[in-house]
Chain A
Amino acid sequence: MPETREQTTEQEQLDPSLESQPRKRITSHGALALPRVLAERRSNEKPMSSEPIFEVKDLTVAYGGKPAIEDISFDIGRKRITSLIGPSGCGKSTMIRCFNRMNDLIPAASVSGAIVYHGQDLYGPGVDPVEVRKLIGMVFQKPNPFPKSIYDNIAFGPRVIGMKGSMDGIVERALRRAALWDEVKDRLKENAYSLSGGQQQRLCIARCLAVEPDVILMDEPCSALDPIATARIEDLMLELKDQYSIVIVTHNMQQAARVSDMTAVLMPDVRDGDRAVGRIVEYADTGSIFTNPESKRTEDYVTGRVG
């Protein structure tokens, strides 16, 4: 690809913020790092105040008539990182899959309530889930690159949604934004499966960025990765939040504390014997959730007493 070289320099001039931004801290992953991380963050960050990108209103999702999450209402901030935390079975994944209508793929699932996005209910009549997914991208728990070349992995999205412009340029821009370009620029034609797990996950993020979404949903994006690969993804998220609204589901409370502005804690309420129904017990800025939770259940969870 002879074009690519020229575009490299052009790209750097056009958008210096992308690569020249100094690599942010590689966060410590020690169990005791939490208060320090939060203190550091509070000192250099503006408080959470942003108009919502999503307004979730009385959302209930049921599988085969049995609710998995119930009466969820909260707002998600634009250009913020919002994390959903909670013990297994609390419905975090069900919740995040509502934002891009992935639950539509499960025939038994039914969704009631509303998620308002740019003034429109995502579940309103006439809303096409395919259109929703073009604007609201998703990164999955396990890296799921397509069994194709690195280049084709990125190009797939822009091709199917019919994006205009040079495909080489689109691919390079996406890989740069996902901080993967330097590692793969000489092997774009190689199969994506030849990448390491962390690189595969960044490739999936790049693939998602290539279609220029508005929101990025991440469903436990680091659960299959080692701490170093995890740190790179977290750094990447912090870089991306200037341009994107990010919602992340995580099992890792350290991670929620490190990256997110707002944190929603979901807890399963046991109903009819053993059936769990997820509800939000607390939603606040991340600092409060981890240092000064209002709810006893939140406190027990974030301090590791339950869950």
Chain B
Amino acid sequence: MGAPLGIDTGGGGGGLVDTSRNNRVKSALFKGALLFSLGIGFVTLIALLVNVASDGLSRLSWDFITSFPSSIPSHAGIQSPIVGTIYLMGLVALFAIPVGVGAAIYLEEYADRDRWYNRAIEVNIQNLAAVPSIVYGILGLAFLVRGLALGRVLLAGALILTLLVLPIVIISAREAIRAVPASIREGALALGATRWQMIRRQVLPAAVPGIATGSILALSRAIGETAPLILIGALTFVPFNPDGLSSPFTALPIQIFNWTTRPQDEFKLLAAAAIIVLLVLLLTMNAFAIWIRNRYQRKW
């Protein structure tokens, strides 16, 4: 803290010697305040983790992961929620990444920003990223479950989570595409490449690390979403794995939500154990995203 020479800019006539105790006190106080803000977030997180771990670790076992939910706490497990979550993530990735990257390519490479409709789309996407997830749940219920009569099935859940994360995928893919320098684009075009050849063979490959990172972070947002799934009616007690797109399903956050609402203490412990599993999944995904980013980071 503080430069060794302590250059006094306060004009106290001290030259290079720090004579202003006042400035030093101020900057120490400011640093302290910043540390305190950081501490609040950090301590809360640690407290939560410790609390969950102390409750849940005792119930965490291979049996817990491989068993189906049950009304008898000692037999209950989370196989079907885990499988449901994996199915959901797979489908969301399948739907959201191609559509999101496609939209990002359009906006970055083709859209003429002087056109009002392109600007309207841009503003909309920014806003959609901030819409609360429960609103997406209502949309899903009205439009997918009832309007398209999909019913309360895996496909409806996956589609609604896709809509939820699509703006995030688009925004992060745009950033990644924009980060590819213009000189690469010019180099490709100058060789007689068409615009699509330039995008397909130079811009997209160079943007893949950024797109992958953004997509994984978007998926890790989707994996923890509960509200929209509850709203469209994912079942809270599903003692079987989904067997297709039109199968009823559950997911980890829903199972956790269900268990925490039960009065019995045993279920609270189960919920804590399931939270640990969900956290491990989440942290793994985020770590993978960070790894990709560092591994393929490029200086232009």
Mark A residues whose CB is within 8 Å of B.
100, 102, 105, 107, 130-131, 133-135, 137-138, 140, 142, 144-148, 156-157, 159-161, 204, 207-208, 211
Q: Name the prevailing secondary structure of the B interface residues.
A: helix
The distance in angstroms between the C-alpha atoms of A138 and B186, with both chains bound, is 9
List 17 A–B pairs whose Cβ atoms lie within 8 Å, in order of A's numbering: A102-B189, A105-B189, A134-B192, A140-B186, A140-B190, A146-B206, A157-B191, A160-B188, A160-B191, A160-B192, A160-B197, A160-B201, A204-B187, A207-B187, A208-B190, A208-B191, A211-B192
Q: In the complex, which residues of chain A have a beta carbon less than 8 angstroms from the beta carbon of B206?
A: 146-147
Best-buried of B112, B114, B193 by chain A (most CB within 10 Å): B193
Q: In the complex, which residues of chain A have a beta carbon less than 8 angstroms from the beta carbon of B186?
A: 102, 105, 138, 140, 144
Q: In the complex, which residues of chain B have a beta carbon less than 8 angstroms from the beta carbon of A131?
A: 192
Q: Convert B176-187 into 0s and 1s, putting 1 for each residue whose CB lies closer than 8 angstroms to a CB of A.
A: 000001011011
Q: In the complex, which residues of chain A have a beta carbon less than 8 angstroms from the beta carbon of B241?
A: none
Q: In the complex, which residues of chain A have a beta carbon less than 8 angstroms from the beta carbon of B188?
A: 146, 156, 160
The distance in angstroms between the C-alpha atoms of A237 and B205, with both chains bound, is 32
Q: In the complex, which residues of chain B have a beta carbon less than 8 angstroms from the beta carbon of A135?
A: 192
Q: In the complex, which residues of chain A have a beta carbon less than 8 angstroms from the beta carbon of B193?
A: 130, 156-157, 160-161
B194 within 8 A of A: yes
Q: How far is the CB of B38 from chain A (nearest CB, A)?
A: 37
Q: In the complex, which residues of chain B have a beta carbon less than 8 angstroms from the beta carbon of A161?
A: 191-193
B258 within 8 A of A: no
Pair A100/B201 contact, Cβ less than 8 Å: no
Q: In the complex, which residues of chain B have a beta carbon less than 8 angstroms from the beta carbon of A145?
A: 187
Q: In the complex, which residues of chain B have a beta carbon less than 8 angstroms from the beta carbon of A146?
A: 184, 187-188, 202, 206
In this complex, what residue of B is CB-closest to A129?
Answer: B189
Q: In the complex, which residues of chain B have a beta carbon less than 8 angstroms from the beta carbon of A137?
A: 190-191
Pair B191/A156 contact, Cβ less than 8 Å: yes
Pair A133/B189 contact, Cβ less than 8 Å: yes
Q: How far is the CB of B117 from chain A (nearest CB, A)?
A: 16
Q: How far is the CB of B256 from chain A (nearest CB, A)?
A: 43
Q: In the complex, which residues of chain A have a beta carbon less than 8 angstroms from the beta carbon of B194?
A: 130, 160
Given pairs A105-B186, A142-B183, A157-B191, 15 additional interface contacts (CB within 8 A) = A102-B189, A105-B189, A130-B193, A138-B186, A138-B190, A140-B187, A144-B181, A144-B183, A147-B205, A148-B205, A156-B188, A160-B197, A160-B201, A161-B191, A207-B187
Q: Which of A105, A130, A156, A204 contacts B201 (CB 8 A)?
A: A156
Best-buried of A105, A138, A144, A161 by chain B (most CB within 10 Å): A144
Q: In the complex, which residues of chain B have a beta carbon less than 8 angstroms from the beta carbon of A159?
A: 201
Pair A102/B190 contact, Cβ less than 8 Å: yes
The distance in angstroms between the C-alpha atoms of A161 and B197, with both chains bound, is 10
Pair A157/B298 contact, Cβ less than 8 Å: no
Query: Which 4 pairs across A and B sit closest by C-beta, in order of nearness?
Result: A134-B192, A144-B183, A157-B191, A138-B190
In this complex, what residue of A is CB-closest to B202?
Answer: A146
Q: In the complex, which residues of chain A have a beta carbon less than 8 angstroms from the beta carbon of B202?
A: 146, 156
In this complex, what residue of B is CB-closest to A210?
Answer: B191
Q: How far is the CB of A290 from chain B (nearest CB, A)?
A: 30
